[in-house]
Amino acid sequence: MKIVKVKDYEEMSDKVCELFIDRLTALKNPVFGLATGSTPKGLYKRLVQRYNKGKISFDHATFFNLDEYIGLDQNHPSSYAYYMKNKLYNHINVSSEQIHIPNGKAKDLKKECDRYEQLIRDANYIDLQILGIGINGHIGFNEPGTPFDSRTDVVQLTNSTIKVNSRFFNSIEEVPNEAITMGIGTIMDSKEIVMLISGEHKSKALQQTIYGEVTENFPASILQTHENVTIIADAAAFGE
């Protein structure tokens, strides 16, 4: 692992933006895996700003989202499809053919998971995967106990994840308890992974990711075995 310590959230966002743009410009047809939530917002904001200044183009890139809630339409304001369109896709030069997000409203969810997994294979896997981390070590929606060789699948969300994510809904009762997520094995197939960690509340997760036992009880620990991982974390996350 390459560990990059930065001053604060803004510097973390600057660092990952530079790395992202480097891969965007260096690779002929880059394939990116993207995360949602609070942590990558700064990255997407900076990418839109660079695009608006004419500095970069996304016309040769392909995007795969990590996950999506089951039961939410893509136009639902709390869906991850809506998040990605609002934060990034609607503001850059990408077509719908370049964007892949699991369909949480699919009639046959198993078939949808298999379809998504095959799309990633057909793209020759992900060149750069952006990850956040849950306080329980989940990556994507792969909660503790998920097998390391798991592929894209329907998963149950833990009570702690539902509680944390309730801030994006009107009430905790509105938070879906299931999601489609790339599996841990799918994520580990990525050629390069960058994990972003910000805030004092993530300090124990950071410590366990880097130094803890590699165990399915803490999914992010598997990153210790990947050949090309960078963790960018701010000073608050390094609190312990």
CA atoms of 59 and 34, how far apart (whole Å) = 17
> What's the order of all strands across the beta sheet hosting 62-65?
2-6, 229-234, 193-197, 128-131, 31-34, 62-65, 99-100
Catalytic residue among 103, 117, 138, 189: 138
Helices (H), the chain: 9-26, 41-52, 80-87, 109-122, 159-165, 184-188, 203-211
Examine the residue annotation and report whether 67 is marked as an active-site residue of this protein: yes
- Considering all CA atoms of the chain, what is the largest pairwise distance in Å, rounded to the nearest integer? 46
Annotated catalytic residue: which of 65, 68, 100, 136?
Answer: 136
- Given a contact cutoff of 8 angstroms between Cβ atoms, the answer to whether 3 and 34 are in contact is no
Selected catalytic residue, list 68, 112, 117, 143: 143
Closest CA to 161 of 205, 120, 103: 205
60 is catalytic: no
Quick check: is 173 catalytic? no
Q: What is the DSSP letter of 2?
A: E
How many CA atoms lie within 13 Å of 1's alpha carbon, on the beta-carbon side? 19
**137 residue type, one letter:** G
For tokens 């090309």, name the residue.
Answer: 228
Is residue 240 flagged as an active site residue?
A: no
Q: Residue 14 CB: number of other CB atoms within 10 A? A: 16
**Which among 65, 67, 112, 189 is annotated as catalytic?**
67
Residues forming the active site: 67, 136, 138, 143
